[in-house]
Amino acid sequence: MTGAARAKGFRERLAELVALVFLSVLMMALSRLTPPGAQDWQRGGRDLAAVGFFLLAGTLLSSLLELVRLPHLTGFLLAGMLAGPHVLAAVDHETVSDLSIVNSLALSLIALAGGTELRLAALRRGIRSLAAATLVQNGLALLFVPLVFVLARSLVPFTQGMELPAVFAVALLWGVVAITRSPSAVMGILSQSRPAGPLTEFTVGFVMTSDVVVVVLLALLLTAVRPVLDPTATFSLRAFGVLGHELLGSVAIGTTLGLALAAYLRFAGRQILVVLLVIGLVLSDVIAYLHFEWLLTFLTAGFVVQNLSREGDKLLHAIERTGEVVYVIFFATAGAHLDLPLVKRLWPVAVILFAARAATAAAGARLSGRMAGDPPLLRRWGFAGLVSQAGLALGIAAKVANDFPSFGAQFGALAVAAVALNELVGPVLFKLSLDRTGESGKAGEIPADEEEGAEAAPATGAVLR
């Protein structure tokens, strides 16, 4: 058991279980009393009750799961799955959809915090590991996972009747889905485990920068496979110009936002919660409307605050105060969003693709670790933080569905099933790796050889400490 679990006796655990059951029954009753198509004021009350329920139920269930050493994030996800429309129906589809506004706020905080965790000193130390992992992990995934997809095509409903070149094209698109990671899951585990060390630095650096690689590869592959999947389409280089505009514009806006945030934190420093809410709920929509990558924008902004000012810790502490509540609701809502009947229907091929992706990540960690001369623990556990998936994978699936309506909806359904498996297993693996490498609980400790630069570059630690 963890220290937290040992501190609680049988009565405390029983009280948590009773409270969880009581809250679930109460929420189920409220859901039945609010009919579909209810008036706005009724929906507003129900949505507010769902927020409170997810917060309390996620916290209680995560505490109970400490008994079996599962991470808190798993408790948040399971609370949403159990309360969602496919199990207890304590929270219906309409309410889950209403709460999706939390996603923008949570992902904005995750990107800002992730950028703030990217310290130049740590990146310089791990540049060989990051470069080797980027090349090997993405290269292996884009080769091996599509090959498995093609070999398992008889289990994939929407590839039936496709010509082999078209199947290969779809498999390459699935390969892009396979190389996406989950910054939200990584930062959620860091908030609980408070780790520091080589594995933490590597995982944060790799996961936070991988989104850029994914965006570029998606644009390249969509341009390449479109003529194969759509006979009316022609090859065009225009997409590369649009991609360059999006990336450069996002970095430019992020740099400006980072400098503005640093100045505000330095000279004002008040009502930071309001500023973060505006960034997450308003600015993210504005940036998306202008067709820029808002996650890359916020990642850049956090990086600028950390490395071009002394306000990085102040920003992290502000995110901590805001994010502790938002994270619980975000992951609980993500659990409620999972289409469990769909996962059940597609589980054979989803399990195969999940296993292929995880095996590729493990093999890639060992190979890239040897290339970069990483220590044995990093070679063994470097893959663990790369298994989780979440919003970006589903976003790519939605893009494919929009561009290729003939099979896109079923492609998206398979993505939901695979992401569900990665979302449940990945956080458990990452927490286990941090415990086994001895990095858990070391946030804030400064190695002796770095004490001189400690003020300028604090040791990498967990967000939401």
Which H or E run includes 142?
A: helix 127-151
167-181, 204-218, 342-356 — which is least confidently predicted?
204-218
406's CB contacts (< 8 A; 6+ apart) are none
**Which pLDDT value is given to residue 236?**
64
CA–CA dist 357, 78 (Å, integer):
23
CA angle 278, 284, 290 (to 5 degrees): 130
Least reliable range by pLDDT among 129-143, 224-238, 336-350:
224-238
Helix (H, G, I), strand (E, B) or coil at 82: helix
Asked if the model's pLDDT at residue 449 lies above 50, the reply is: no
Helix/strand/coil for 40:
helix
Considering only 362-366, 448-452, 458-462, which range has the smallest mean pLDDT?
458-462
Residue 460 — very low, low, confident or very high, per pLDDT cuts 50/70/90?
very low
Model's pTM, two decimal places?
0.72
CA dist., res. 288 & res. 280, Å (int): 12
CA dihedral 218, 139, 112, 72 (to 10 degrees): 110
> 455 pLDDT exceeds 70?
no
Token pair recorded at residue 241: 């110009």
pLDDT for residue 324: 66
**What's the longest Cα–Cα distance across the chain?**
68
Per residue in 6-23, pLDDT tens?
567 788 888 989 999 999
Who contacts 404 (Cβ-Cβ below 8 Å, separation ≥6)? 229, 230, 411
The pLDDT of residue 458 is 38
Q: Which long-range contacts (CB under 8 A, 24 or more apart) does 377-384 make?
A: 377/198, 377/199, 377/437, 378/129, 378/198, 378/199, 378/202, 381/199, 381/433, 381/436, 381/437, 382/129, 382/133, 382/199, 382/202, 382/203, 383/358, 384/199, 384/203, 384/429, 384/430, 384/432, 384/433
pLDDT at 213: 81
Note the pLDDT tens digit of each residue in 112-164: 887 887 788 877 877 888 899 999 999 999 999 999 999 998 888 888 888 89
